[in-house]
Amino acid sequence: MNIIANAEVEIIDLGLIDYQKAWDYQATLFNKILDAKKGNRNLPSDQQTPTSNFLIFCEHPPVFTLGNSGNPNNLLVNGVELEKKGATYIHTNRGGDITFHGPGQLVVYPVMDLENFFTDIHKYMRTLEEAVIKTINRYGIKGDRIEGLTGVWVDHRSAYPKKICAMGVKTSRWVTMHGLALNVNPDLRFFDLIVPCGIQDKGITSIEKETGTIPDMSDVKKQMADHLMEVFAMKHKP
């Protein structure tokens, strides 16, 4: 299925925000799109209201999140130890297992109606990965996919591949929420407290670790926004 060119998208930067607050904000937009689709259901196409698409950019204070198919045992510390580390723990409604979010990690939540693009979840995930691969390539990093796993990896053909971007999404009636987390320069020691994404034989990396430099977060956001708009053939909403 081909992408419909020039669907409009609104880009929202929430800055550093509590995970639950960002989740609630996503849910508001998600439900707004679902309500619009419900209202369009029995209308002829020329009378339907176009559905909105959003790209939410943010960072979170330290938090571990577990997906609805995840194993709680992949969190390797208890609540007391989490508190000492200044981190929290939330069970979410996205797919995937456990991951970490923290300052220095760029989180992007696409809240979009895939019927504006294509109705294929596998293609959606691969398209998100493509935007990340293009983004980190701008910093001299070769990213790739590993068959059967989500996210973007560095040194994917080596004996010890390293994940640089994790992904987990939720969809309903082709509307998406949750998304991706690109490690720019987070404190990677937090990942020692979990089995990241439930995968024990692979590592975690960041743009800083791979390049030895810390890119400006605003520049990474711009690169990511540009590449997401490119791969989905979107344009800024006026």
How confident is residue 5, by pLDDT bands cut at 50, 70 and 90?
low
Q: Is residue 56 part of a domain?
A: yes
Q: Which pLDDT does position 199 carry in this prediction?
A: 75
Q: Is residue 32 part of a domain?
A: yes
Q: Which pLDDT does position 88 carry in this prediction?
A: 96
Answer with the residue of higher pLDDT: 219 or 50.
Answer: 219
Answer with the residue of higher pLDDT: 1 or 145.
Answer: 145
Cβ–Cβ under 8 Å, residues 62 and 102: yes
Determine which of 21-30, 57-66, 151-160, 222-231 has the lowest per-residue pLDDT on average. Answer: 151-160
Q: Which pLDDT does position 135 carry in this prediction?
A: 98
Residue 165: closest CA among 212, 80, 224: 224
Q: Which pLDDT does position 152 carry in this prediction?
A: 98
Q: Is residue 26 part of a domain?
A: yes
pLDDT of 1 strictly over 70: no
Mean per-residue pLDDT over the chain, rounded:
93
Q: Which pLDDT does position 42 carry in this prediction?
A: 84
**150: phi then psi, degrees, rounded to nearest 5:** -95, 165
Q: Is residue 54 part of a domain?
A: yes
CATH number at residue 89: 3.30.930.10
Share of the chain above pLDDT 70, in %: 98
Q: Which residues contact 165 (CB under 8 A, 6 or more apart)?
A: 129, 132, 136, 143, 151, 152, 180, 181, 182, 183
Q: Which pLDDT does position 2 carry in this prediction?
A: 46
pLDDT of 192 strictly over 50: yes
The total domain count for the chain is 1
Q: Is residue 200 part of a domain?
A: yes
**191: phi then psi, degrees, rounded to nearest 5:** -70, -15
Domain that holds residue 205: 7-39+48-233
pLDDT of 86 strictly over 90: yes
Q: Which pLDDT does position 202 carry in this prediction?
A: 86
Q: Is residue 229 part of a domain?
A: yes
**Tens digits of residue pLDDT in 143-178:** 999 999 999 999 988 888 999 999 999 999 999 999
Q: Which pLDDT does position 6 carry in this prediction?
A: 78
Place of tokens 């938090």: 63
Q: Is residue 2 part of a domain?
A: no
197 part of the active site: yes
Share of the chain above pLDDT 90, in %: 84
Six-digit token pair at 13? 């930067």
Point out the catalytic residue in the list 164, 197, 229, 231: 197
Q: Is residue 1 part of a domain?
A: no
Q: Whole-angstrom Cα distance, residue 195 to residue 197?
A: 6
pTM: 0.94
Q: Which residues contact 232 (CB under 8 A, 6 or more apart)?
A: 3, 7, 9, 112, 117, 127
Residue 219 sits at the vertex; the CA angle it makes with 104 and 166, to the nearest 5 degrees, is 45
Helix (H), strand (E) counts: the chain = 5, 12
